[in-house]
């Protein structure tokens, strides 16, 4: 896919962070936007800013299957189907061990991060595959490449996205559909600051120490470039590149290395 002009792009988590940067980047390249988010005021502001490119905005929880399915059907019937589906919506929990993380918190995070991606992929696949060219883009994380303590639920969701998307790639090798798996490293968004539970001061330290390395605008540029070049695995930031390489070469010793160096000054 070399051009996004007049392409219909559906983006979840579109009202902040990487999602907002993607919406702006696609709009700048002449795409038409369907913006989805669960925060009404932020979504209203984004829709107003990008009104010249906006087709429709939907305020809903991506973890609700019926809502997602209804929206996918409406996009197909009213707007001719999506050309690009970007499953970007995500949430986080604060500093909690696996033992400390309640099953309710675990399910909440998995509903948004993992099931939201599954619904967005499954419900939009038929309309994407009906196009002459189309792309499905699923955002995993550096923590979909390496596991880290205090983030068992988040890592599980992001490894799940990776496994699901790699399986989709294998199943659609003979399709015209492009499928992309994105692994952002530290991106300067509010995901840690808005994390549920844990110690807010730790969430702030985590954000300042790790999540300020790359801007959402850089992430959007890398993702759009990756789609244009049909790059299956899109890594954003040096830490994602290094994490991917290390996970392939030193999968066991990497665990101790990450805990020793990544969590220095955090514990």
Q: What is the pLDDT of residues 172-229, one digit of tens each?
A: 999 999 999 999 988 889 888 888 987 787 778 777 777 788 899 999 999 999 999 9
Q: Which whole-number Å values give the CA distances from 36 to 54, 84, 89, 169, in the listed order?
A: 11, 13, 9, 25
pLDDT in tens, 8-19: 999 999 999 999
- pTM for this model (two decimals): 0.92
154 is catalytic: yes
Domain 8-261 class in CATH: alpha beta
**95 Cα distance to chain centroid:** 21
List the strands of the sheet with 84-87, edge to edge: 54-59, 32-37, 8-12, 84-87, 135-139, 178-184, 233-236
Task: Return the residue matching tokens 């989709």.
Answer: 168
The whole-chain average pLDDT of the chain stands at: 92
Every domain of the chain and the residues it spans: 8-261
Calculate the alpha carbon distances from 76 to 15, 71, 90, 116, 131 in Å. Answer: 22, 9, 24, 18, 11
Q: What is the mean pLDDT of residues 77-91?
A: 98
Helix ranges, 150-252 (H): 152-171, 200-210, 216-228, 238-249
Average pLDDT over residues 78-86: 98
Whether 255 has a pLDDT exceeding 70, the answer reads: no
Q: If DSSP codes are grouped into helix, strand and coil, which group holds residue 150?
A: coil
Phi first, then psi: give them for residue 172, nearest 5 degrees: -120, 30
Tokens linked to 128? 């994407």
Q: What is the pLDDT of residue 60?
A: 98
pLDDT 10s digits, 120-173: 999 999 999 999 999 999 999 999 998 888 999 999 999 999 999 999 999 999
What three-state secondary structure class fits 180? strand
Residue 242: per-residue pLDDT: 73
pLDDT for residue 66: 98
Catalytic pick among 58, 119, 150, 154: 154
């Amino acid at each position: 896919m070399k051009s996004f002009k007049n392409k219909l792009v559906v983006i979840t988590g579109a009202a902040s962070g990487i999602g907002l940067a993607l919406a702006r980047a696609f709009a700048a390249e002449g795409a038409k936007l369907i913006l989805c988010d669960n925060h009404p005021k932020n979504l209203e502001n984004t829709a107003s800013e990008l009104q010249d490119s906006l087709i429709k905005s939907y305020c809903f929880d991506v973890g609700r299957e019926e809502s997602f399915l209804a929206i996918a059907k409406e996009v197909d019937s009213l707007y001719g189907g999506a050309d690009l589906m970007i499953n970007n919506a995500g949430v986080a929990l604060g500093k909690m061990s696996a033992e400390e993380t309640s099953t309710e918190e675990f399910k909440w995070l998995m509903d948004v991060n993992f099931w939201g991606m599954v619904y967005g992929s499954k419900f939009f696949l038929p309309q994407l595959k009906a196009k002459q060219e189309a792309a499905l883009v699923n955002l995993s994380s550096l923590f979909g490449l390496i596991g880290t303590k205090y983030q068992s639920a988040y890592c599980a969701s992001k490894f799940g996205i990776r496994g699901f998307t790699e399986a989709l790639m294998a199943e659609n090798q003979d399709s015209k559909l492009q499928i992309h798996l994105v692994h952002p490293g530290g991106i300067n968004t509010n995901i840690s600051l808005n994390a549920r539970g844990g110690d807010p001061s730790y969430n702030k330290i985590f954000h300042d120490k790790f999540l300020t390395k790359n801007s959402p605008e850089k992430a959007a540029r890398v993702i759009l470039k990756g789609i244009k070049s049909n790059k299956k695995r899109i890594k954003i930031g040096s830490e994602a590149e290094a994490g991917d390489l290390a996970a392939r070469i030193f999968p066991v010793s990497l665990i101790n290395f990450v805990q020793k160096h990544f969590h220095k000054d955090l514990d």
